[in-house]
Structure 1
């Protein structure tokens, strides 16, 4: 694989200019949100129809329109398939887009997705013409079921939402990547610092979705920019082809021309 400036995130046949997706909730101000979008230059920004309707902050949608970034409505807060379907259809009408980030929470403490309901909801939304990006765990079998239901990409978590822990199950997440090599995988939830994003991009993931890690930082715009750089660095490293890890040391300095007693470890 040769690094290329044309390398872009492609979902459902549509190319996006950035591998960063940015959430829009819990920023200290609209100006902070606007500056963070400028700093990260995300491919998409997510918006929760239900939560935004409840807060109703004046000017919120004006900010999003001004930036001209593609919108990704989500079904945050839904705890049943019926809630998901109702929210998704309302979002499609309000935002005039078939894109939907599917969230169906099965546990209030961990905010872990409901794997059974998730597959059912995904299948119904796909039949209704949505482009579904399902928020799921790193479970390979559930991932395959979502793909069988018609999803063309997955959004596995790195850790529970809002924890900032980074990847808590590297084996599971890397196994998902290895077993689904041709499926776009975007790590969503649990990342806390740019090095977390860089790491998953080095593993070959296709993008990251961020919200709390940026909005709850001391200086959100600076953190947004740092994450964007981390994602770019990780992707570039993946395309460059990292060296193989070794269990023993290997000198990087060539031995040609060295005195023979240095080469074999002997004494003069």
Structure 2
């Protein structure tokens, strides 16, 4: 059986789970959870987690003996120019051009993305050779605009960042899948492993989970649970769901049933 691999830009992954690095109690726990998750990528908010200053405790040092790749993100940026400048500095400092673009429009309450600024930044960064994974709202029109702007993947939110509410509009994920050809990675709002399975059953190509793992009572155990949920959800999607029916249907055939 051919392996079910995830292709993003020029890179190929066997894991369809990406995890975040924020909100853990320390870098050691971050690493333990990452390894338990089976993820091959971990996002890093460059403005909040150190990967560029060798003179301070550096998350990169904890992952040197692993094959997990870093996915820098622009959390904390509020416009296109800030994000473009940040990623240019990251590429110069650590040589990474595989990035998660995140530009927040409402920094006080919803943490919803500014999709206009995100599209602007995507156009510039893609032309400069970055592989852009673009965080956005769950709007199929915006997803298509991001793809047209050069995004290598679109990352619609399931619910507000860190809310743990799970997927609030399942139809929109399906609409986005129909609208674009690039991978769709459900991002933000996942609260537990079952949410991850649902995202994958809806046809998402991958899942990003941070707070659901980091804020769990046992982050390492939740990371492992999320790994299994993503695998199960993907297999369920590929297997094909049974048709829904309005009435009961006996599991066993009635023809030829012996009379008592």
TM interval, shorter chain, is: over 0.9
Matched, 1:249 2:248: yes
Instruction: Report deviation, 1:31.
Output: 2.0
Aligned to 1:82: 81
For 1:171-199, what per-residue CA distance to the aligned partner results, in whole angstroms no more than 9, with x for missing partners? 2222212333x321000100000000001
Aligned with 1:38 (options 35, 40, 60):
35
For 1:118-141, what per-residue CA distance to the aligned partner results, in whole angstroms no more than 9, with x for missing partners? 111100000111000000011111
Q: Counterparts in 2 of 1:1-268, with a 5 A limit?
A: 4=1, 6-53=3-50, 58-108=57-107, 109-180=109-180, 182-258=181-257
Between the aligned partners of 1:141 and 1:52, the Cα distance in structure 2 is 32
Between the aligned partners of 1:9 and 1:19, the Cα distance in structure 2 is 7
8 Å CA contact 2:80–2:103 kept in 1: the answer is yes
The secondary structure found in structure 2 opposite 1:65 is coil
For 1:206-263, what per-residue CA distance to the aligned partner results, in whole angstroms no more than 9, with x for missing partners? 1101111111111100000000000000011111112111122111110122257x9x
Q: How many residues align?
A: 256
The secondary structure found in structure 2 opposite 1:195 is helix
Between the aligned partners of 1:173 and 1:189, the Cα distance in structure 2 is 13
Between the aligned partners of 2:131 and 2:91, the Cα distance in structure 1 is 11
8 Å CA contact 2:78–2:105 kept in 1: the answer is yes
Instruction: Report deviation, 1:13.
Output: 3.1
Judged with a 3 Å threshold, the aligned counterparts in structure 2 of structure 1 residues 161 and 115 are, in CA distance, closer, same or farther, namely same
Between the aligned partners of 2:46 and 2:152, the Cα distance in structure 1 is 23
Judged with a 3 Å threshold, the aligned counterparts in structure 2 of structure 1 residues 43 and 5 are, in CA distance, closer, same or farther, namely farther
> Runs ≥4 in structure 1, deviation > 6 angstroms?
none
Between the aligned partners of 2:148 and 2:140, the Cα distance in structure 1 is 12
Listed as ranges, the gaps of 5+ residues in structure 2 are none
Judged with a 3 Å threshold, the aligned counterparts in structure 2 of structure 1 residues 249 and 120 are, in CA distance, closer, same or farther, namely same
Instruction: Report deviation, 1:12.
Output: 0.7
More deviation, 24-33/215-224: 24-33
Between the aligned partners of 2:5 and 2:159, the Cα distance in structure 1 is 25
Listed as ranges, the gaps of 5+ residues in structure 1 are 263-268
For 1:34-55, what per-residue CA distance to the aligned partner results, in whole angstroms no more than 9, with x for missing partners? 110110121211111111249x
Higher helix fraction (1 or 2): 1
What TM-score, normalized by structure 1, do the two folds share?
Answer: 0.91
More deviation, 169-178/18-27: 169-178
The secondary structure found in structure 2 opposite 1:101 is strand
Determine which structure has more spread, i.e. the larger CA radius of gyration: 1
Between the aligned partners of 2:195 and 2:48, the Cα distance in structure 1 is 27
The secondary structure found in structure 1 opposite 2:48 is helix
RMSD: 1.7
Instruction: Report deviation, 1:83.
Output: 0.6
